[in-house]
Chain A
Amino acid sequence: MRRRHFLKALAAVTAAAAAGLPVVFPARDPLEAMRALGRTYLELHPEEASAARAWQVSLAEAGETGMRGHTARHARLDLEDGEVVTVDGWVLPRSLALTCSALALA
């Protein structure tokens, strides 16, 4: 998938993440907020860089339409399993942090 398309598709994922969690995400530009979170996550957890890259691939594989569901499904599973991480103080399902990281790497 071309970078431009990937970013566009991820913008939709942002909306999905926000829709999955009834949250007012505190940023004017959600895409930029996610990218910033992703950058911070990778700075704090450089060991997650390869997972983020693999995640980027699986998001790309899911395709534009599947990307939303892919992140939301994994985020739900993470929450069931207690797989959460902290980024900038936010407690997030790991998949959401990986999606943000994928965006930061794109």
Chain B
Amino acid sequence: MFIDLRTLDDGSVLEADICIVGAGPAGISMARSLIGTSIDVLVIESGDMDYDDATQALYRGESVGVPYFGLEDARLRFFGGSSNHWDNWCGEFQPIDFQQRSWVPFSGWPFGPEELEPWYDLARPICSLGPRRKNAEIWDKLNVEPIVLDESRLKFHFWEIATPTRFGEVYREELRKAPNIRVLLNANATEVVSDAAAHKVESVELVTFNGHKARVKARHFVLACGAIENARLMLASDRIEPHGIGNRRDVVGRFFMEHPRDRIGSLATSDPFHLIDMFRPGWFGEHVFCPSITVPAEKTKAEQILNTRLQLLYVTDETSMATMRRFAQSIEAGRVPDRLAEGLWDLIQGTDITAYNLYRRAVHNRPMVPKPDGVQQVYFLCQAEQAPNPDSRITLSDRRDALGSRLPVLDWRLGELDKRTLQVQGKLLGGELARLGLGLFQFDPWLREGGTSWSPSMVGGYHQMGTTRMSDDERTGVVDADCKVHGLDNLYVAGSSVYPTGSNINPTLTLVALALRLCDHLKQRITERV
């Protein structure tokens, strides 16, 4: 059932067994997995069913560190959360990501990959992914002969991509019909209030834009507002604990991580086409797989580097491929393509490649490729693991949003290990490509010898992580292995804010898996009444 908080009486008190704050992929996955149980669930969502400027503005904030997207542009604040515009590029974390690595300070999850595997199995269909596949099977289905990398140095790892699952649309009806689930819309959580001893959460305070206030009382509370807001809400909840709820050890908001993304260098080669063809994302049934290059675990250990991935991209001056894609999208959407005459001219100019692409698509089910003589450059883009860094953090500003909550301040910081990893991995890549006779690799200036700064064009992946990290030790973590906040009996966190390290793969599949695991834990606690 959906309820608009603005229609309830001011001062309402709502009760539930579990209160989940935030209806993005984490919150919605949890609510779904509680459907049909005897557990009474209340989901609190700041937004409505659609985008709204005023609510989105609550996501504003300041950024004082490495340049980052505007905080209000980096997430979406309505039912479904950022899945309303995510790209659905997914993948599972690799075993090395869970390990305590002596050369990566603060690394190590409280459990290994085997703990998460059954939850990944359940999370995959929720994110519209098929079953787990082996690389050989993928290459075979993509109809591509991969280059033979020396697997002691580099290996392939695939992104798994599906048509984006808009959680708020796809799972809306199920939640509407579920008798034990209530979703409260236009309900902004502004404070999490504990008992005087700060051992147990008693309520979450809500406000609306029309000035209504409400309170939720529940046996268990889960914060699932995304990595920036989870930390913001905990820091802002300072009524009992002066530095914020669950923040006795000053860890909340620290260890903010992203996946730095930027060009690392380009390849001088006489045969760009071969590599472009091999690195294009290709279809495997309904799914798309995109190859990338990572470093095997043993080699990351030998080189003392992080776990980063590289993707091959190219620059072309030829426009017929983009035009074909644009035409296909318009036709699929039942529209006449814009700039029709100009587009047709492009296609006629590039008749040979257009015909070749149609043939590839029809006969070999292979993705489009650019005209070889139009390719100006082949380059590699990183999606990097970032080393956990306590100084990379979210704090609160003295400025407030329209509802009176203090704005978040992001101080994103990167370190020496982050950069050295790219230099080592680029060198491994360059060596392999030369060994295979595929070309000579040249680093972009910012990664060359003596280059000290970060590239000005570096961005993140819209993958905020780490701000309420998981650790058995409360000095280095906000939540324990069950995602329960240290020191508080009934406060949990769901989402990528609990990641102790962030791997190099997009975060959502893993956070859905963790959310399902958390749900299982809560079901047990509630049925066993512990």
Contacts and interface: CB of A to CB of B under 8 A. Distances in A.
Contact of A89 (B269, B428, B447): B447
Query: Of residues A20, A86, A87, A89, which shows the largest number of chain B Cβ atoms within 10 Å of its Cβ?
Result: A89
Contact of B440 (A21, A44, A80, A82): A21
Contacts of B153: 82
Contact of B439 (A23, A79, A80, A84): A23
B430 interface: yes
A23 B435 contact: no
A93 B428 contact: no
Contacts of B448: 86, 88-89
B73 to A, nearest CB: 33
A9 interface: no
Contacts of A92: 434, 440
Contacts of A82: 150, 153, 428, 431
B435 A90 contact: no
Interface in A73-96: 79-80, 82, 84, 86-93
A71 to B, nearest CB: 14
B265 interface: yes
A90 B447 CA distance: 11
B449 interface: yes
Contacts of B443: 86, 89-91
B437 A21 contact: yes
B427 A91 contact: yes
Contacts of B444: 89
B311 interface: no
Interface in A1-54: 20-26, 44
Contacts of A20: 437
B76 to A, nearest CB: 39
Given A22-B269, A23-B270, A90 B427 contact: no
Contacts of B317: none
B420 to A, nearest CB: 13
Question: Chain A binding site: helix, strand, loop or mixed by DSSP?
Answer: mixed
Contacts of A79: 431, 434-435
Nearest to B436: A79
B269 A90 contact: no
A23 B442 CA distance: 12
Contacts of A91: 426-427, 429-431, 434, 440-443
B268 A23 contact: yes
Query: Of residues B431, B441, B447, which shows the largest number of chain A Cβ atoms within 10 Å of its Cβ?
Result: B431
B72 interface: no
Query: Of residues A24, A87, A90, A93, which shows the largest number of chain B Cβ atoms within 10 Å of its Cβ?
Result: A90
Contacts of B430: 84, 86, 90-91
Interface string B410-451: 000000000000010011111100110111111111011110
Contact of A23 (B150, B440, B447): B440
A22 B438 contact: yes
Contacts of A25: 268, 440
B195 interface: no
Nearest to A90: B442
Nearest to A85: B427
B445 to A, nearest CB: 7
Given A89-B442, A90-B441, A92-B440, A24 B270 contact: yes
Contact of B449 (A21, A26, A44, A80): A44
Interface in B359-373: none
Contact of B265 (A22, A23, A84, A89): A89
A84 B449 contact: no
B323 to A, nearest CB: 29
B52 interface: no
Nearest to B441: A91
B174 interface: no
Contacts of A90: 430, 440-443
Contact of A22 (B270, B428, B445): B270
B271 interface: yes
Contact of A86 (B435, B439, B449): B449
Contacts of A93: 431, 434
Q: Which 5 A-B pairs have the closest CB atoms?
A: A91-B430, A79-B435, A89-B443, A84-B431, A89-B448
Given A22-B270, A86-B427, A92-B434, 12 more contacts: A21-B434, A22-B437, A23-B270, A79-B431, A84-B430, A86-B423, A86-B430, A86-B449, A87-B449, A88-B449, A89-B442, A90-B441
29 contacts: A21-B437, A22-B270, A22-B437, A22-B438, A24-B270, A25-B268, A80-B435, A82-B153, A82-B431, A84-B430, A86-B423, A86-B430, A86-B448, A86-B449, A87-B449, A88-B449, A89-B442, A89-B447, A89-B448, A89-B449, A90-B441, A90-B443, A91-B427, A91-B430, A91-B431, A91-B440, A91-B442, A93-B431, A93-B434
